[in-house]
Homo-oligomer: A and B are copies of this chain.
């Protein structure tokens, strides 16, 4: 059986991290499924999905580490193409990736106690983001 849900969140952009775990728990609880997989996928190429212990310290540490790998303000070739200023956002998103698959059993996602499912929005402005959530199971 398949259930398709769509999560919509507002972000401030600029490495904003949104905890999707409550939405994921609700989606699983609201479905008739006991056991299966939740496939999460963020539409758009300047945001990404991963898991992290969601506390303000780590959230700022993650931004710092990614800023060293793909700094904002560098003269990326992407900027010449579109006149954009968000080359770093595209690169960070491609490194982390847009998809995450979380198994669930007994209507509960199998994440750790200190492990949250998060969206990171790397774009340079506030965005409305859509995350597809496809539950598949029995």
Complex interface bits, A32-75 against B, C-beta within 8 A gives 1, otherwise 0:
00011101010111000011110111101110010011100000
Question: Which residues of A come within 8 Å of B, CB atoms?
Answer: 2, 4, 35-37, 39, 41, 43-45, 50-53, 55-58, 60-62, 65, 68-70, 76-82, 87, 90-91, 93-103, 105, 110-112, 114-115, 132, 134, 136-138
Report if A111-B55 is in contact (Cβ < 8 Å); known contacts: A96-B97, A99-B100. Answer: no
* Shortest Cβ distance from residue A50 to the other chain B in the assembled complex, whole angstroms: 5
B70 touches A98 (CB 8 A): no
B55 touches A103 (CB 8 A): no
A36 touches B78 (CB 8 A): no
Partner of A96, one of B95, B101, B103, B134: B95
Partner of A80, one of B57, B91, B100, B110: B57
Known: A57-B79, A57-B81, A58-B94. 7 other contacts (CB 8 A): A4-B103, A41-B103, A51-B97, A55-B78, A60-B77, A62-B91, A105-B134
